[in-house]
Amino acid sequence: MKNENSMLICPVCKGKIALNHETYICESGHCYDIAREGYVNLLTVNQKKSNSPGDNKIMMNARKDFLEKGYYDVLIDEIDKEIKLEDTVESCVDIGCGEGYYTSKFRELNKNINFIGMDISKEAIKKASKRREDIIWVVGGSNNIPIMNNSIDIIVQIFAPHNVDEYLRIMKTDAKLITVTPGEEHLLKLKELLYEDVYLNDQKYINDERLSVVKEDRVSMKINVSSGDDISNLLKMTPYYYRTNEDKIEELCKLEKLETEIDFNIRVYKRK
The pLDDT-based confidence of 47 (bands split at 50, 70, 90) is confident
The pLDDT-based confidence of 3 (bands split at 50, 70, 90) is low
State the average pLDDT for the chain: 94
| 167-173: average pLDDT | 98
What CATH class is the domain 37-271? Answer: alpha beta
DSSP string across the chain? ---TT--BB-TTT--BEEEETTEEEETT--EEEBPTTS-EE---GGG-SSSS-SS-HHHHHHHHHHHTTTTTHHHHHHHHHHHHT-TT--EEEEET-TTSHHHHHHHHH-TTSEEEEEES-HHHHHHHHTT-SSSEEEE--TTS--B-TT-EEEEEEES----HHHHHHHEEEEEEEEEEEE-TTTTHHHHHHH-SS--PPP------TTEEEEEEEEEEEEEEE-SHHHHHHHHHTSGGGGSS-HHHHHHHHT-S-EEEEEEEEEEEEEE-
Q: For position 6, what pLDDT does the model report?
A: 76
Q: For position 86, what pLDDT does the model report?
A: 87
| 14-42: average pLDDT | 94
| 63-85: average pLDDT | 97
| 239-258: average pLDDT | 94
Q: For position 1, what pLDDT does the model report?
A: 54
Q: In the predicted model, is pLDDT for residue 157 greater than 60? A: yes
Q: In the predicted model, is pLDDT for residue 161 greater than 70? A: yes
| 111-134: average pLDDT | 97
Q: For position 262, what pLDDT does the model report?
A: 98
